[in-house]
Structure 1
């Protein structure tokens, strides 16, 4: 009798864990890789950084319009001499359903925005920068 109770408890535990595993998860598509920004002006490399995903400006295809290669618009004077190449512009991205949520830094304005990144079909990323409820999106394409 005691063995039956033990097996019933094991079956109940296994049944519970199996039923939890059977629930389909809406996993986020990977955003890792190298991506051309809008207009193929630059390449951003997205990779894990700790438990999150982050992106760094890897190289320019088209040099900045003002010819400046440092983070001159940063609100922190101590950071204004940082080189743009290697600059972290995506930070703290975590999966949320089919989207990734984190922050995006715009070196042209020196501002950081709440951001949502979604992997699309055909090697694209939808990259949004948001202020309150208003978001502006760009489509980035896979760099080859």
Structure 2
């Protein structure tokens, strides 16, 4: 009977370890499905965030970063898109990364979002209001 308790304790510890390691699976560098943008996801406090690294729509012809000109806050329109945090507030619930926000520099809007992994594909769904009304993009791990 004592051995059953020890086995159960070991199994619980392994399950907890798996859940914790799974939480870190989104860390690293990701590239859009079209291979035209890159983002790095990292821990920021108790959450996960993502910074825009490069992309075809964020670099000027001279190699400099485009500015955040569509931002509704006029004070932020002069900031560079390269290096900008566009993904914030994601929390891991054991299966998905929930409660996040994603900023779309193309239109200056911020959307609610959540993320889940399937193999090495990161699915990022941005939405307004209900989760059913949104768009999902797929990102491929590059590092």
Show CA shifts across 1:86-120 (max 9, x none): 01010011102311011111111111111011111
Show CA shifts across 1:2-42 (max 9, x none): xxxxxxxxxxxx99xx59x4695583542111000231111
Pair 1:44 & 2:39 matched: yes
- Structural mapping, 1:7-86, within 5 Å: 18=9, 21=12, 24=15, 27=19, 28-29=22-23, 30-60=25-55, 62-64=56-58, 69-86=66-83
Unaligned runs of 5+ in 1: 1-13
Equivalent in the alignment of 2:95: 98
1:111 equivalent among 103, 109, 112: 109
User: Is the partner of 2:34 in helix, strand or coil?
Assistant: helix
How far 1:53 sits from its partner (Å)?
0.7
- d(CA) in 2 for partners of 1:59 and 1:138? 17
Unaligned runs of 5+ in 2: none
How far 1:58 sits from its partner (Å)?
1.1
- Of 103-112 and 37-46, deviating more is 37-46
Equivalent in the alignment of 1:139: 138
Deviating 4+ runs (over 3 angstroms): 21-26, 63-68
- TM-score, reference length from structure 2: 0.76
CA contact (8 A) 2:58 2:81 kept: no
The structure number with the bigger radius of gyration is: 1
- TM-score, reference length from structure 1: 0.76
